[in-house]
Structure 1
């Protein structure tokens, strides 16, 4: 099972992959995240002691058509207030001139460094925030918009220290979208990354620390802002492109096949959206792909160092999320099928992986009053118990068998921009050309190259694909389409495998590959607004709902 394909890249291959990687970084960085978020905060002076009530009054100078009020929630503590409005011309309005507009309590919401919106649709000169003594949360800024989604200038504000609520209005660029704060599971991962940096007890403990530590590194480099906590994810996703090229090039002994596979990964929707989301999935995908790249080098070239690096990459993947165990089993299965017996290298890789896993808990051990190794050991059982016993439900969870069919994408963010007829939304799904196109490709490979005529390259595609996917059938907790992310490279390899069968007819081979890439790029452009959060007309968004389960 050895190939003579040389590892050194040709100049045109280097130029092509450099261009693809640069294109991805540029596209993924556009509207990635704000470089500034409100930093000065206001907090009710009683901090939940129950000794009093705080009030903040905004004066717009004249009666204004109020549309939405945005509140930047700086921390994860509870914020509770009643909101009143008055169209009175007197300063301040009398008690009977206030009308209650809204009661706000985010106790049941996950929140951290994010904007929350209150829809008012009323006319008022004054707004009064009546904070109860249960309110302990820090508020970074209050932004008031008209019904036309334009900023309303606040002429005056009353309340002890309340000027901090309106002192950073210029840091918020309209419209408010996902780039202005945390959204979806970022509120868990970014919060925990910040807690690691400040030696506080980590809030998110149900997954190993590595993904959150990488997010913390991004914050240390680029600041506590959406760009800072997301940009390393973009670089991780970009790094997958040359790895995908190298793997495909070696498997199929073709630079063209490598460029084809790398192009499909570049324009896959899930790869793109997860790159722009500060959670652990994109780092899991990177380390998973890296582990199989090294596994391929080992199986096809007999390099012992490659096997060691493959197992260490599995360890890095496992230190992000435990689901990496499925990939480790796939690599062991490939070794057995290929009659490889270098178990001492596997053991060496496991020992290094164990050291990495344990080292990732050092920030947790330093948090709070400090923790020992016994605490870390006990936490592993607690984590297992959580995942084994979780009974939560979610509107956008999906069964494992539906993922490749994309019957139910994951809707992660939405903000209707009132008065503009537009919406900012982010949905997590795959590129239909790749995900749906891989179904017949995999079927063909199984029938033609595993059953009728055995081929080890086909086995390297199908076996990991199945072992990364089918174990989810045994998991009873809620699942999401992002659990399928490690399978994306193998769907691409399946399509590439089928394309390479046309290599003897060079013109047809090039035409088929180019046509498929053009289709994938066209679909990427078509769906770009709904996978990136870019504001678009509601009608355009609705036109992309091709299936009944596509809700976004």
Structure 2
């Protein structure tokens, strides 16, 4: 990745078009329903208490996502637009960040554009960008961090200001949802591993070699270790000012013990609960909404694109193989990011889990598919690459009515899209 590439091939214009398309799709029926639905019933009330600083709610999750929902409410009012405008903005950020990260990591305009299209048409990112939940904020900050980190390695002369953004974004991702913690450790681990490989016993003090020439391990630890932790802690500022239930800075330790115990408590079984291997196989969906609203039957289904979620699995294996045995570091990074973000849920002490926990891993699955399609194109099998991209778009259009709360024909209209009984 330290090799220069041709800036004239930078697909930034295409990135802007994909991001604009994503934003337009988010805007369609964004305020339907006009009442909180699914987990909005937890996060919208918590955002209200941030606005009036009355008392903490929903303390089992970090506070930044609820603060951002509150920011939208402060600007646009305590209504559907106010609840969902910030998730939509961060969904756009996730698309831009993921697409730009792919460009700087791979140097391939095709892989970058394909990644953007696959993220847009993959279903989970768009569905989460249209509801006031926390995962989209985590994804937006995480993709921003990966974009800046990949750009730093590609253009080390920009290292300090970019790594400052990486550190802030990683801290904000963790302060949005703890799911980001394994991913937040990756940039620092990458720097350490590659510096040991390039500098040997002098890795602690050397400024030479990969991944960022001219920077010591100590300085990297400042940007990638200390800064994210400070930003994470600063995001707890409302807890110091609540009228009821406020804490001192030292009380953050006790607060985190309470948060951890709430995360590990045994929950009642849920109709739509699932486990990680069902997510991988796109086996278990969630109906966020299915009821009459505004004189019509409407639904919002959380599911992965059946084509790309399955095609992404061999693509992921291909990336892992080429990364390990042919030193394709971009492919290895994508496979590793998928492994750590999904691996969290394999070992997590949480008895009730849901498909939306797969949203962040699915972004890396789709990135792996974009890299594999780029390899197919380079090998002369470009028709396969274009067919998969076209198929992803067509399936997205097919499922669009039940991704976006569109008007449906009748109460049983959902049957048209239920390819598997497990999606019901």
Match of 2:184 among 323, 328, 352: 328
- 1:398 counterpart residue number: 274
- 1:44 counterpart residue number: none
- Give the C-alpha shift of residue 549 in structure 1: 1.0
Match of 1:304 among 140, 159, 166: 159
- Segments of 5+ residues of structure 1 without an aligned counterpart are 34-177
Match of 1:205 among 50, 53, 59: 59
Describe the superposition over 1:161-187 as per-residue Cα deviations: whole angstroms up to 9, x where unpaired.
Answer: xxxxxxxxxxxxxxxxx4211011111
1:216 aligns with 2:92: no
- 1:424 counterpart residue number: 298
What is the total number of aligned residue pairs between the two structures? 400
Question: Given that residues 110 and 374 in structure 2 are in contact (C-alpha distance below 8 angstroms), is that contact kept between their aligned partners in structure 1?
Answer: no
Describe the superposition over 1:19-41 as per-residue Cα deviations: whole angstroms up to 9, x where unpaired.
Answer: 222222111111101xxxxxxxx
- Give the C-alpha shift of residue 494 in structure 1: 1.0
Question: Given that residues 33 and 293 in structure 2 are in contact (C-alpha distance below 8 angstroms), is that contact kept between their aligned partners in structure 1?
Answer: no
- 1:441 counterpart residue number: 315
- Give the C-alpha shift of residue 8 in structure 1: 6.9
Question: Given that residues 43 and 66 in structure 2 are in contact (C-alpha distance below 8 angstroms), is that contact kept between their aligned partners in structure 1?
Answer: yes
Matches within 5 A, 1:308-457: 308-339=164-195, 342-369=217-244, 370-416=246-292, 423-447=297-321, 449-450=322-323, 452-457=325-330
Root mean square deviation, CA, Å: 2.3
- Give the C-alpha shift of residue 300 in structure 1: 4.3
Q: What is the CA–CA distance in structure 2 between the aligned matches of 1:514 and 1:184, rounded to whole Å?
A: 36
Q: What is the CA–CA distance in structure 1 between the aligned matches of 2:101 and 2:227, rounded to whole Å?
A: 24
Match of 1:262 among 116, 121, 130: 116
Q: What is the CA–CA distance in structure 2 between the aligned matches of 1:440 and 1:504, rounded to whole Å?
A: 18
Matches within 5 A, 1:270-309: 270-302=124-156, 304-305=159-160, 306-309=162-165
Question: Given that residues 413 and 425 in structure 1 are in contact (C-alpha distance below 8 angstroms), is that contact kept between their aligned partners in structure 2?
Answer: yes
- 2:213 counterpart residue number: none
- Give the C-alpha shift of residue 229 in structure 1: 1.1
Question: Given that residues 3 and 300 in structure 1 are in contact (C-alpha distance below 8 angstroms), is that contact kept between their aligned partners in structure 2?
Answer: yes
- Give the C-alpha shift of residue 524 in structure 1: 1.0
- Give the C-alpha shift of residue 388 in structure 1: 2.2
Secondary structure of the 2:291 match is strand
| Distance change >3 Å, CA 7–CA 312, structure 1 → 2 | farther
Match of 1:533 among 401, 405, 408: 405
Q: What is the CA–CA distance in structure 2 between the aligned matches of 1:454 and 1:181, rounded to whole Å?
A: 50
- 1:173 counterpart residue number: none
1:227 aligns with 2:81: yes
- Give the C-alpha shift of residue 301 in structure 1: 4.2
1:25 aligns with 2:23: yes
Question: Given that residues 268 and 434 in structure 1 are in contact (C-alpha distance below 8 angstroms), is that contact kept between their aligned partners in structure 2?
Answer: yes
- 1:253 counterpart residue number: 107
- 1:121 counterpart residue number: none
1:472 aligns with 2:345: yes
| Distance change >3 Å, CA 15–CA 374, structure 1 → 2 | closer
- Give the C-alpha shift of residue 220 in structure 1: 0.9
Secondary structure of the 1:197 match is helix
- Give the C-alpha shift of residue 292 in structure 1: 2.0
| Distance change >3 Å, CA 297–CA 390, structure 1 → 2 | farther
| Distance change >3 Å, CA 201–CA 395, structure 1 → 2 | same
Secondary structure of the 2:419 match is coil
- Give the C-alpha shift of residue 488 in structure 1: 2.4
Question: Given that residues 252 and 500 in structure 1 are in contact (C-alpha distance below 8 angstroms), is that contact kept between their aligned partners in structure 2?
Answer: no
* Higher-strand-fraction structure: 1
Q: What is the CA–CA distance in structure 2 between the aligned matches of 1:262 and 1:336, rounded to whole Å?
A: 30
Q: Which has the higher contact order (CA 8 A, sep 6+)?
A: 2
1:546 aligns with 2:419: yes
Describe the superposition over 1:322-346 as per-residue Cα deviations: whole angstroms up to 9, x where unpaired.
Answer: 1211102333443344236524322
Question: Given that residues 233 and 282 in structure 1 are in contact (C-alpha distance below 8 angstroms), is that contact kept between their aligned partners in structure 2?
Answer: yes
| Distance change >3 Å, CA 301–CA 392, structure 1 → 2 | farther
| Distance change >3 Å, CA 215–CA 337, structure 1 → 2 | same
Q: What is the CA–CA distance in structure 1 between the aligned matches of 2:223 and 2:189, rounded to whole Å?
A: 18
Describe the superposition over 1:301-360 as per-residue Cα deviations: whole angstroms up to 9, x where unpaired.
Answer: 445324443233211111111121110233344334423652432234433333322332
* Higher-helix-fraction structure: 2
Secondary structure of the 1:339 match is helix
Secondary structure of the 2:128 match is helix
Secondary structure of the 2:343 match is helix
Question: Given that residues 138 and 180 in structure 2 are in contact (C-alpha distance below 8 angstroms), is that contact kept between their aligned partners in structure 1?
Answer: yes
Secondary structure of the 2:422 match is coil
Secondary structure of the 1:179 match is coil
